[in-house]
Amino acid sequence: MHKLLHTPLQSQLGGLSMPIAVQLPKGQTLGPADAPVKVLLSEWSSLARLKTGQMGALAEEFVEGKLKLEGRMRDVMATVAGLLPGNPVLSDNGWWRNMLGRARAKGLHTLKRDASQVQFHYDVSDDFYALWLDPRRVYSCAYYRDQAMTLAEAQDAKLDHICRKLMLQPGERFLDIGAGWGALLLWAAEHYDVDATGITLSKNQHAHVQRLIEEKGLQGRVRIKLLDYRHMDESHAFDKISSVGMLEHVGQANLERYFAKVLRLLVPGGLALNHGITAGGADNRQLGAGMGDFIEKYIFPGGELVHVSRLLEHMARAGLEVVDAENLRPHYARTLWDWSDALEGQLDRARKVLAAEGGDQRAEKTLRAYRLYLAGSAMSFEKGWIALHQVLATRPSESPSAYPFKRDYMYQ
């Protein structure tokens, strides 16, 4: 059977735009020996998965050490794209539909489980994230307003882009739901003089932001709370609200209730901006090209996507009026490649940092998983299989809307 796979696989490999060599379990090599990408298999079952483009299963085998990859991650992803059996946007394999069923049946997004899932991802190691994020540790799509911008400059531009869209004014009450390591929270306070509140479920992030608030002497008008959005006090509404990278953790079944909560937390006429990953196709809900199970197991347990059309519907059903939407998909592709390149440039240091947290074996698995996750996500954004939308909305009021007739103010 193995020999029968050789000839068609060799033909398949020969048709790829990025040359690849495959070393079989007994040492035989298919493809050019000098190929920029080499896959070393230790089990024959991997050969059939490679032939049929089962990238999620192969990704898991890589993380578990059952196969090895040699070559630049950019080249590896070019190979992956060529081996996929079809466009994942047009051929949803049903994983997310099954996932949604489990969410409804088992309460995937309970308070306790959401806290655990967020901590699983964000509390891996602050020092590890610091190796490949910008100095502010902004863990979301940057905004390359100028193509010559560095990652750090583009992240600053993104923070300001959000603040401009929200039309932040001195003294306004500003809420950041899912505040991360505090970059937007602190930017809004320091550059727009707002009274800022952030909430997060990550213990590491909460401690980090609290230290920054104290170091900057901002205790009087900036605060960070270890709190689920569902427990947020509604007695004092906010003038402006942002939610960056939070949408993916809410769960499709909870989106309408989530945005209804945002509505209740917002003053009439106030503005709310949601910055989140969206599915590339109307019926495609995966967090990557055929890698749903891999992402669920190693990276984002409980993560769910919706197409922007459904996102807008959920916001409207909750009572919010959408006033502006912008797709930053190409910006996220570049952001992720910048993260991937930064991590690839210091793999040995990353191993040491992760090993200090959880031992050598766990460190190696985590590192392999993140290498695939960053590069695979970059490729998925690049090809339009997933997208990133900033959606600006307002809570309708009887007074005339303060939102301008033109969007020029965002770029001045």
Q: Please report the pLDDT score of residue 284 as a whole number.
A: 58
For residue 191, pLDDT over 80 is answered with: yes
Which whole number is the average pLDDT over 89-113?
Answer: 49
The mean pLDDT value for 149-168 works out to 98
pLDDT tops 80 at residue 406: yes
CATH number at residue 109: 3.40.50.150
The verdict on 117 and 61 lying in the same domain is: no
pLDDT of residue 111: 63
Question: Does residue 287 form part of some domain?
Answer: yes
pLDDT computed for residue 1 by the predictor: 42
Give yes or no: residues 27 and 100 share one domain: no
pLDDT in tens, 113-142: 555 555 555 556 889 999 999 999 999 999
CB atoms within 10 A of CB 358: 13
Residues 268 and 171 in one domain: yes
Query: pLDDT at residue 2 above 70?
Result: no
Whether 90 maps to a domain, the answer reads: no
SS (H, E, C) the chain: CHHHHHHHHHHHHHCCCCCEEEECCCCCEECCCCCCEEEEECCCHHHHHHHCCCHHHHHHHHHCCCEEEECCHHHHHHHHHHHCCCCCCCCCCCHHHHHHHHHHHHCCCCHHHHHHHHHHHHCCCHHHHHHHCCCCCCCCCCCCCCCCCCHHHHHHHHHHHHHHHCCCCCCCEEEEECCCCCHHHHHHHHHHCCEEEEEECCHHHHHHHHHHHHHCCCCCCEEEEECCHHHCCCCCCEEEEEEECCHHHHCHHHHHHHHHHHHHHEEEEEEEEEEEEEECCCCCCCCCCCCHHHHHHHCCCCCCCCEHHHHHHHHHHHCCEEEEEEECHHHHHHHHHHHHHHHHCCHHHHHHHHHHHHCHHHHHHHHHHHHHHHHHHHHHHHCCCEEEEEEEEECCCCCCCCCCCCCHHHCC
pLDDT at 288 over 50: no
Nearest to 224 by CA among 267, 264, 175, 273: 175
Q: In this predicted structure, what is the pLDDT of residue 91?
A: 59
- Per-residue confidence band for 405, with pLDDT thresholds at 50, 70 and 90: confident
Q: Encode pLDDT of 9-59 as tens digits.
A: 676 776 677 888 999 998 888 888 889 999 999 888 888 888 777 888 888
| 8 A C-beta contact, residue 289 and residue 281 | no
Enclosing domain of residue 20: 2-83
Domain count, the chain: 2
Q: Please state the rounded mean pLDDT for residues 198-223.
A: 95
Quote the percentage of the chain above a pLDDT of 90.
57
Does the pLDDT of residue 290 top 60, yes or no?
no
Domain termination residue (choose one: 49, 83, 117)? 83
Q: Which pLDDT score is estimated for 73?
A: 93
Does the pLDDT at position 96 exceed 70? no
pLDDT, residue 114, reads 57
Q: Residue 27's domain is classified under what CATH number? A: 3.30.1050.10
Per-residue pLDDT tens for 337-385? 999 999 999 999 999 999 988 777 788 988 999 999 999 999 999 999 9
Asked if the model's pLDDT at residue 100 lies above 70, the reply is no
The answer to the question of residue 322 being in a domain is: yes
- Give yes or no for residue 106 having a pLDDT over 50: no
Contact 350, 128 (CB under 8 A): yes
Q: Which domain-ending residue is among 37, 61, 83?
A: 83
If asked whether residues 327 and 273 sit together in one domain, one would say yes
Average the pLDDT over each of 86-95, 157-166, 309-318 and give the range with the smallest value: 86-95
Pairwise pLDDT comparison (182 vs 204), residue with the higher score: 182
Q: Are residues 139 and 192 in the same domain?
A: yes
Same domain, 105 and 27: no
Q: Which of 60, 83, 106 is the last residue of a domain?
A: 83
